[in-house]
Amino acid sequence: MARGERSGQRGGGGIEAKAQNAGAAAEAPVDPKTIPALMDLIRLVARSGAPQLKLRLTVSILLTIAGKGLGVLAPLVLGAAVNHLAADQPAGVSVGLGFAGFAVGWAIVRFLSSSAPQLSDVVFAPVRAAAQRTAATETFAHALSLSLDFHQTKRSGSLSRTVDRGSRSVDFLLRILAFNLAPTGLELILAAAVLGGKYDWRFAAVAVVVVVVYSILTFSISNWRIEHRRTMNTADTEAAGQVVDALINYETVKSFGAETRAALGYDRALGAYNDAALKANSSLALLNAVQALIMNIGLGVMAVMAGFEAAAGRMGPGDVTAAVLILISLYAPLNILGFAYREIRQSFIDMEEMLKVTRQTPQVADAPGAADLVRPEGQSGGALAFEDVSFRHDARANGLEDVSFTVQPGTTTALVGPSGSGKSTIVKLALRLLDPQVGRVVIDGADVRDVTQASLRRAVALVPQDVALFNDTLAVNIAFARPEADETAIWAAAEAAELAEFIRSLPDGMETRVGERGLKLSGGERQRVGIARALLADPCILILDEATSALDSRTEAAIQKTLRKAKAGRTTLVVAHRLSTIADAEQILVLKAGRIVERGAHHELVARVGGEYAALWKKQTRGARIGLDGDRQSAG
């Protein structure tokens, strides 16, 4: 019988229609071609770095072949024992020696035929494990190298599930193809040869016909059943994305009182999964019944034929036993044929979905022969220049158009402008998270596309508006910029970020865990961890992307004081919303619709009548005065 399925235990999709249509965000997986898929699997094993790969593969195959050969031999030994028992011999000799010898031999052969595949599995297990590990590691590493667009459109939970299912499919395919289906085919050939050669060609024909009919019906029903599995798979992926989204954004869920709504959505997802699982289990019962019918018809025909041969004196009772046992032993691996066929197809699909990720071409990649960015001797700041840079996002009409500016070493340049004006795009281009479509970005005379990304990221550090922290200790989060840093360097960075006193006040000090995304810390504390992390990297260019705009006025003032110390001697690029925080910048660039419309120092731009910066400054200072007057009236 085909193996049963676990129903309702894995996550589901949003609604059944979404699951059946493969979700809104992903196209339905397509069956990969068998031969190319097998070649992908072979290449994966070859580069897995498994210990003694060739030796293990050879020994495993030999053990598997030996096990199948002994499996066919075992019924013949038992048949010989029965024939010996039934022969007209003195009772003492027949029972005491002959039959016992054959019976013991049969038991030994049976044991060896059962043990050989188990030993083969033990020998080959390190190869499967290495291949599975290589598949997961390669896919994860490649996913990290892909562009921002890929990660902004791909659900993290869905991507995680794709990698997980794909890597597990590698292990399953190696186990089931190399050491189950292929040996079963060999066993069929051996069984047919023995039945035809030792007894009668009709016995071999019955065995082959029964197996062929059994396989055709099993494959036909399994092809129908696999659609239910696809629905469950898609629902599983969709649900994983829902769960990750809800848990990552749980504050938003709670703040809008959407806990029940989120739980009901997940419940509907499980309902879609359960519906597909129930259909799969019902069709499984049909498959089991058809398989049992074919098996028993085959056994009945074989037994009747053997009986007639025995009656005619051409076969002994042991031969009848052996013929039936050979067919029964052949049926044993066929019991899982439906399960194996369905799972092999699904595993090929899962592996192909995983490999699709590795086939994605990174939009930003190191050029062939890229050199490390060399930091200038004797200066802590680097020169940054944008030369006629243009960039347009796929999802937005505006990007950057013909942007040129230079940030001298050790100076501060500020970027101001409305949302969507291109400030964040400039930051991403400076970090080389994006590449300009026109023009170039230059650091210390080197086009950033001509240097390695690793050396560039060592030279440029970012403190974003919302500092992303890992669910680990303060020490690990600060040292993320430079994992090899010792405890002294980590504490020095914390001191420079004015975070050390806070850390010493904690019961666990540096070993305090910050929670998911750092939610156990206040906004100001998270920001200081981000500053400490950037300072530990010791960059020559420091980028502050609205690093204080989400903080209250008092915290912002304290952080600004820290940032002024951090900027000392470094080239700094600041994205600011509050103009008062960048009044001391040597250069201020005003952006609008992707273009620089004004540039200069604060005093120059404020004095420019009718200018964008002057209008924004006037608006912000008026708002500040109104707020101050309101505070005074409240105090009075």
Residue labelled with tokens 């879609």: 272
Domain boundaries, the chain: 36-358, 384-609
- In what helix (H) or strand (E) does residue 573 lie, and over which residues does it extend? strand 571-575
If you average pLDDT over residues 180-187, what whole number do you get?
78
The answer to whether 323 and 7 are in contact (CB under 8 A) is no
d(CA 279, CA 227): 10
For position 403, what pLDDT does the model report? 92
Q: Determine whether 451 is exposed, middle or buried from the number of CB atoms within 10 Å of its CB (0-12, 13-18, 19+).
A: buried
For position 29, what pLDDT does the model report? 54
Weakest-pLDDT range from 55-59, 435-439, 540-544, 627-631: 627-631
Q: Which residues pair with 323 in a beta bridge?
A: none
For position 413, what pLDDT does the model report? 92
Q: How wide is the angle at C-alpha 142 spanned by C-alphas 140 and 148, nearest 5°? A: 100
Q: How wide is the angle at C-alpha 599 spanned by C-alphas 593 and 601, nearest 5°? A: 140
Residue labelled with tokens 């049976």: 110
The answer to whether 166 and 254 are in contact (CB under 8 A) is no
d(CA 28, CA 424): 34
Amino acid at 121: D
d(CA 56, CA 64): 12
For position 635, what pLDDT does the model report? 46
pLDDT band for position 21 (cuts 50, 70, 90): very low
For position 476, what pLDDT does the model report? 92
If you average pLDDT over residues 274-279, what whole number do you get?
79
pLDDT in tens, 521-553: 888 888 889 888 888 888 889 898 887 665 666
**Residues with Cβ within 8 Å of residue 281, at least 6 apart in sequence:** 4, 5, 7
Q: Which alpha helices (H) appear in 146-200, and where do they start and end?
A: 148-153, 156-176, 182-194
The answer to whether 557 and 518 are in contact (CB under 8 A) is no
pLDDT band for position 3 (cuts 50, 70, 90): very low
The token duo for 321 is 């036993």
DSSP structure string for 217-247: HHHHHHHHHHHHHHHHHHHHHHHHHHHHHHH
d(CA 31, CA 347): 10
pLDDT band for position 589 (cuts 50, 70, 90): very high
Quick check: helix, strand or coil at residue 361? coil
Percent of the residues in the chain that have a pLDDT greater than 70, as a whole number: 86
The answer to whether 24 and 18 are in contact (CB under 8 A) is yes
pLDDT at 325 over 70: yes
pLDDT at 501 over 50: yes
Q: Determine whether 405 is exposed, middle or buried from the number of CB atoms within 10 Å of its CB (0-12, 13-18, 19+).
A: middle
pLDDT in tens, 107-145: 888 888 888 888 988 888 898 889 889 888 888 888 888
The token duo for 505 is 């006040």
d(CA 127, CA 50): 5
If you average pLDDT over residues 457-467, what whole number do you get?
86
The answer to whether 477 and 533 are in contact (CB under 8 A) is yes
User: 24 or 120, which is more confident?
Assistant: 120
Beta strands 412-416 and 438-443 are unpaired
d(CA 529, CA 522): 11
If you average pLDDT over residues 567-574, what whole number do you get?
84
For position 600, what pLDDT does the model report? 92
CATH number corresponding to 384-609: 3.40.50.300
**Residues with Cβ within 8 Å of residue 253, at least 6 apart in sequence:** 246, 259, 262
Helix/strand number for the chain, H first, E second:
22, 10
DSSP structure string for 41-94: HHHHHHTS--TTHHHHHHHHHHHHHHHHHHHHHHHHHHHHHHHHHHSS--HHHI
Phi and psi torsions of 316, nearest 5°: -90, 170
d(CA 405, CA 389): 10
pLDDT in tens, 298-317: 888 888 888 888 888 788 88
The answer to whether 218 and 291 are in contact (CB under 8 A) is yes
HSE, CB side, 13 Å, CA atoms: give it for residue 187.
Answer: 27
- Residue 523: count other Cβ atoms within 10 Å of its Cβ: 17
d(CA 374, CA 149): 29
The answer to whether 11 and 239 are in contact (CB under 8 A) is yes
pLDDT at 440 over 70: yes
- 444 phi-psi bin (left φ>0, alpha ψ -120 to 50, beta other): left
The single-letter DSSP state of residue 581 is G
| Architecture label for domain 36-358 | Up-down Bundle (1.20)
d(CA 120, CA 128): 12
If you average pLDDT over residues 464-475, what whole number do you get?
87
Q: How many residues are present in the chain?
A: 636
Q: Determine whether 124 is exposed, middle or buried from the number of CB atoms within 10 Å of its CB (0-12, 13-18, 19+).
A: buried
